[in-house]
Amino acid sequence: MKKQTYFFLISVSLWIIVLAIGNFYFISEAIPFDSHKTASKGTLSVSSKTHHAQNESPELQLNKLTPAQQYAGEILAYLLKVVLGQAGRLESRGDWKIRGIDEKLDFNNIVEVMTNRERNQLDLMVLDPNILDLTRTLYYYDEKLSLYKGDFSVASIYPAPEFIAIRLVLLQKLHRTEKIDIKALIDREELLLNQGLESSNEDLDAMNLNPDELKLIRDIIKNEPCIYQYLKSPFLIKAFYDIGAIEGGEFVKQRIREAKYKKYQCRHFAGSDNRDALKILILPSIMREFYHGDPVRSLSQHDFKPTEFFDEMVKKLREDILTATKTRLRKEVIHLRKGKPEISVSQWDKLWTRIAEENISFYIEDERPLVIYPENAEQVIRDVCPEADFTVILLGRNIYKSIFFDKTRDDYPFVDRLYIGLMDIQHSETKDETEKISEFICSRLKDRIRSMVGKGEALMQPQGCKNYQRLLRNVCLTSQLLNEA
C-alpha cells in the first residue's frame, strides 16, 4: 500500500509540473511579455503619459493658444490656401483667386455682408460646398472661428468674419505683389492690441501695410483677441510664406522649421515587433474623432484622445488589410502540383498566422490629429515615422472633397501611401484601397514566403510546441510505468 501511495505521489507531482509548464507556454503565447505585443492584442491604447486636462484662467488663454487651438491653426493654414486659390479642388481655384479682390477693407462691412440676409455673401466668398466639412472640423477645435461663434443652430460653410477679413488683406496684397513683414507686425503687439495708440509712417513702412490694412487688422484683433496668437502659429506663418504673402527673414525661417510634427512620434500597436517586419503606418488627418479639452477624460500628453469610433475603425481597417493580404498572398505564392495546391487550406492557415505575426507590423500616431495632404505628406511621414514602409492617411468625413489628389502622383503605386475616409471604413467601402495595400505587402513578402513554402516550413510546428508535446508524451509514459509497477 505504501509503495502504491509513493508511486501515486510521484505521478501526481509529474503531472503538476507538466501542467505548470503547459500553462506557462500557452500564457506566453497568448499574452506576450513585450509591451508592444501586449498593446497589439487589445484595443488601441492611449500613451502612458496621460493627465487630466486642467482649466486655465481667461488671462492665460489670451496669452497662448490651447492645444486644440494650435491644431485649429494647422487646419486654418490649409484652409487659407484653399480660399486663396492655391489648394483644394481645381474647379474652384479660379474663383477663389479673385473673389473680393476689389472689396473695401472695412471690418464692419465684412460682418454686415456675412451676417445680414439682405447682403450677398458671394461678394466676399465662393459658394464652395467642398469645404463644408473642412470648416466644420475647424470649428470643432475652436468654435470662435465659425461665422456664428459657436451657434451651430445656424449652418454656414463660412468661417468667422475675422478670417474672411484676413483673407481679403492677403488676397489684395498678392494681387499687387506686395508682401507683409510679419515679424514687424507681430513685434508691434501694443499697437495692435491698444486701439488708443496711433501708428506712425515708420510703423506702416516696417510692416509694409497701408493705413486701411492696418486698421482692418487692428479691428480684427479687437473683435477676437486670440487672432493675434493665431498670427504667430508656425503653420500659419508657413502658409503665409508659401502663398507669397509675407517677407522671409530669419524669424520666418525659424517659424517654418517649427511647423513640423517631429514631437508626435508613432508607436507600434499591432502585429510583429521584429525589426525586419514590414511596417504599415496609420496617421489621422483633419478629423473630429479626437476628444480635447475635457477635464473629465484622461487625455494624452498633448491634450487629445481618439474617440472609440476612431479606435474601432483603425481595428477594422487592420483586419481588412490582413484579410485582403492573406487572399492575395496565397494566390501568388502557392503553386499547383498536378492540379492541386502544394499545401492544404489548413496548412496555409497555419502558415498565414505565422506570416502575420512575424512579418507584418502596424504603427500609429494617435495622441493627436495631424493635417496631411499631398503637398506635405512626405515631410509629415518623415517627421512622425521615418521607418514606415507604407502609410495609410485617414481623413474625416468628406474631407477628401477639399483636397486635390493627382492620381498619377499622390497615390499608390506612384508613392507608398494612400488616403482613406473613416466613413468608407465604417461602410466597408475600402476594397480598392485594401487591395492596393495588400498588393504592396505581397510585393515585399512573396519571395520570403515562397522560400518558407519551398523549405516545407508551412508543415512545421513552432519549436516550443514540439518540445511541449515531447514532454507530455514522456510524462504519460512515466506515469503508465509507475502505475504498472
pLDDT of residue 155: 55
CB 279 within 8 Å of CB 445: no
Q: How far apart are CA 60 and CA 77, in angstroms?
A: 24
Q: How far apart are CA 190 and CA 181, in angstroms?
A: 17
Residue 55 lies in a domain: no
Residue 423 lies in a domain: yes
Residue 128 lies in a domain: yes
Same domain, 140 and 36: no
β-pairing, 278-285 vs 360-364, is parallel
pLDDT of residue 340: 80
Same domain, 355 and 470: no
pLDDT of residue 399: 98
The SS3 assignment for 419 reads strand
- Nine cell digits for residue 104: 473695401
Same domain, 246 and 274: no
What are the helix and strand counts (H, E) for the chain? 21, 11
The whole-number mean pLDDT for each consecutive block of 10 residues of the chain, a chain of 485 residues, reads 47 46 39 33 34 37 81 98 97 97 96 93 94 95 86 67 96 98 97 94 98 97 95 97 96 97 97 95 98 81 94 98 96 80 88 94 97 98 98 98 95 97 97 97 90 62 43 42 42
Same domain, 247 and 345: no
Residue 194 lies in a domain: yes
The SS3 assignment for 455 reads coil
Give the residue numbers spanning the domain of 397: 32-48+263-454
Nearest to 305 by CA among 294, 314, 315: 294
The one-letter code for the residue type at 161 is P
pLDDT of residue 147: 87
pLDDT of residue 49: 34
- Nine cell digits for residue 299: 487625455
Nearest to 270 by CA among 46, 430, 44, 422: 44
Same domain, 229 and 284: no
The SS3 assignment for 291 reads strand
pLDDT of residue 455: 64
Phi, psi of 317 (to 5 degrees): -60, -45
Q: How far apart are CA 42 and CA 418, in angstroms?
A: 26
Q: How far apart are CA 274 and CA 416, in angstroms?
A: 21
pLDDT of residue 480: 46
pLDDT of residue 43: 34
Residue 459 lies in a domain: no
State the total domains in the chain. Answer: 3
Rg (CA), the chain: 30
pLDDT of residue 63: 62
| Strands across the sheet containing 360-364 | 267-271, 360-364, 278-285, 390-395, 417-421
Same domain, 11 and 149: no
Same domain, 423 and 469: no
Classify burial at 318, counting beta carbons within 10 Å of its beta carbon; exposed 0-12, middle 13-18, buried 19 or more. Answer: buried
> Of the residues 258, 290, 306, which one is the last residue of a structural domain?
258
Q: Which residues contact 462 (CB under 8 A, 6 or more apart)?
A: 354
